[in-house]
Chains A and B, each alone.
Chain A
């Protein structure tokens, strides 16, 4: 199993295989003597060259992050098998994009309407949570196919707000 990741502006390939019941890893084609176990979903204990790391992977709100050794980085994964792409910002797949609420809250403003042509990063909806307003932006350049929320509406984390094609 092979994927590409982007971390700290570096593109790397990671390959995982299993021999004799042991997980083996190759980084950028070179075998890596790492011992990795999953502690809980998203939490890994990884031993590399005698150094012990605890790494946590979190994709809350669509943003993929990995933290290790007291530092946290935005990360990106490309799996050619699935043609899926996780980014530091949002999931970017080809074609139709569902824009979801990154947090529960109330829609206080709708900034785009169906049919609008939008740039990537253009604000679509403003959600108020914990007395703070947060702009939810378009993950890609395209056309707003549908706006699924109205001002004043309460939304849950993960609710689809709009569709951009």
Chain B
């Protein structure tokens, strides 16, 4: 086993990995940029090394600096977390060249499975379903029409050089095809200087369901069940859960085996995630593979009772997986929400700043993976993810009610968070009935937030309490002898009395 691991990341995931190291008796070394000297991952680490200025390119993305620290600190292995260098084959190669174990797949597997186009080609080659469409760019309109008829409407035209929806056209029926062809091509030429387009089947309200895979270096490759991540805002996951509410044992086995087949074809080891879109008929289509630990890995951990980070470390150290496919059983239901320093009422603009006070939710079934503390200033240089709040329950209903309860307990004053957004989502009938799809949240956010029924006694008491709070806040800031007296109750008691009380408390209890 490793003696010391360098964690090449920051924030909640660096904290998560450091915790795994400590539980395994491995020294946790971390790196930090100038903006992160006081960050929680530095405070919790056994060793910490400065790697330069705040911009990631000069610190967390600087391969030579991180390898240099790992060598100087005599680390046996590097855990890249997610983001930053986690899916960079050049970094994995640099680790190998320096004689340091990269905790993740081989650079070759990363290249085969991490690139969208390469992975889709491999999926087609091994018979893992992908979204039906033309693999190659289409030359003529007639070819596009033929392809569309073969695939079946609705279809979508996409720019080969594409991105950001430019050169993209949804076509519901054949009559709209020629206009869409002209528009997509010219838009693609204008946006990318490349008019080539290809055609794909358009999936109506698909769900995002992904399979966690884990492989060792002894030929074992397992699937650890699925996570449903259909609640997304502009293609970014917001809520994840396991198991998927629409999953059946047959579908799970089919998707799990497809994921393992693909990973095996790419020579994959360690933890990875194979993402699929699933349509209303429970047909699944390979989307892409993430060749790293996912942000949402805790929901899998909560239902399987496995520790994915510890397993990653064990596998990287050459250990065989300590269980077989049959032993992987999900128990209960887990839901995670990603808490960001952003303002949902102000177009989700980031809200960095100093955390003045906070409360950490606790109690049955609650897990908080975060990287912040009261008094810390959330820097503005990085992704504003504060942490992940995860609830486990015996079933989905209990998981939802626990998560709602924990969200009510959570606050971080001084910054804005998206906690209110989760309350809205968890209270919506669509989410409660699991009637969600990848664009559901974007549609949901178009609707106005529900209005409180006036005249409700509870609400009117809450309004009164809010009014009282505002008044107390105002007068304690702007000087009012009435309120300030109340702010210092300790002054009323004499020191003699307090000493007496302390003495009473320190006495051994009578039995």
Contact = CB atoms under 8 A, between A and B. Distances in A.
Contacts of B354: 157
B353 interface: yes
A23 B384 CA distance: 40
B175 interface: no
A129 B350 contact: yes
A8 B461 CA distance: 13
Nearest to A106: B380
A57 interface: yes
A66 B462 contact: no
A44 B357 contact: no
A71 B462 contact: yes
A126 to B, nearest CB: 11
Contacts of B486: 18, 23, 37-38
Given A14-B470, A103-B350, 13 more contacts: A3-B470, A38-B487, A41-B356, A42-B473, A53-B462, A58-B414, A60-B414, A66-B466, A68-B469, A69-B458, A77-B470, A84-B478, A130-B383
A104 interface: yes
B283 interface: no
A5 interface: yes
Contacts of A60: 351, 353, 413-416
B478 A82 contact: yes
22 contacts: A1-B471, A3-B474, A7-B463, A7-B467, A10-B463, A14-B468, A16-B471, A18-B482, A32-B464, A34-B465, A37-B486, A40-B357, A41-B356, A41-B357, A51-B465, A56-B411, A57-B470, A60-B415, A61-B353, A64-B470, A71-B462, A75-B466
Contact of A134 (B341, B349, B384, B473): B349
Contacts of A139: none
Chain A interface residue count: which class? 35 or more
B483 interface: yes
A100 B164 CA distance: 33
B420 A72 contact: yes
A17 B470 contact: no
Contacts of B423: 70
B478 A103 contact: no
A120 interface: no
A87 B415 CA distance: 18
Interface residues of B, number: 50
Interface in B351-390: 351-354, 356-357, 377, 380-384
Interface in A59-92: 60-61, 64, 66-73, 75, 77, 79, 82, 84, 86
Contact of A130 (B357, B380, B414): B380
Decide if the interface of chain A is mainly helix, strand, loop or mixed: strand
Interface in B464-495: 464-476, 478, 480, 482-483, 485-487
A69 B483 CA distance: 23
A128 B377 CA distance: 17
A150 interface: no
B463 A8 contact: yes
A113 interface: no
Interface of A: 1, 3, 5, 7-8, 10, 12, 14, 16-18, 21, 23, 25, 27, 32, 34, 36-38, 40-44, 46, 48-49, 51, 53, 55-58, 60-61, 64, 66-73, 75, 77, 79, 82, 84, 86, 103-105, 129-132, 134, 157
Contact of A55 (B383, B407, B420, B466): B466
Interface of B: 341, 349-354, 356-357, 377, 380-384, 407-408, 411, 413-416, 420, 423, 452, 458-459, 461-476, 478, 480, 482-483, 485-487
Contact of B471 (A5, A10, A71, A134): A5
Nearest to B351: A103
A127 to B, nearest CB: 9
B487 A79 contact: no
Contacts of B383: 130-131
B435 to A, nearest CB: 23
Most chain-A Cβ atoms within 10 A of its Cβ — which of B354, B458, B472, B483?
B472
Most chain-B Cβ atoms within 10 A of its Cβ — which of A57, A64, A67, A105?
A57
Most chain-A Cβ atoms within 10 A of its Cβ — which of B351, B420, B459, B474?
B474
B485 A105 contact: no
Nearest to A70: B408
Nearest to A135: B349
A1 B480 contact: yes
Contacts of A53: 461-462, 465
Nearest to A72: B420
Most chain-A Cβ atoms within 10 A of its Cβ — which of B420, B452, B458, B468?
B468
Given A1-B480, A16-B483, A130-B381, A66 B464 contact: no
A12 to B, nearest CB: 5
A79 B474 contact: yes
B471 A46 contact: no
A68 B351 CA distance: 21
A72 B382 CA distance: 27
A82 B474 CA distance: 11
Contacts of A37: 486
Contacts of A12: 467
B264 to A, nearest CB: 37
Contacts of B468: 14, 25, 27, 32, 34, 36, 44, 46, 48, 55
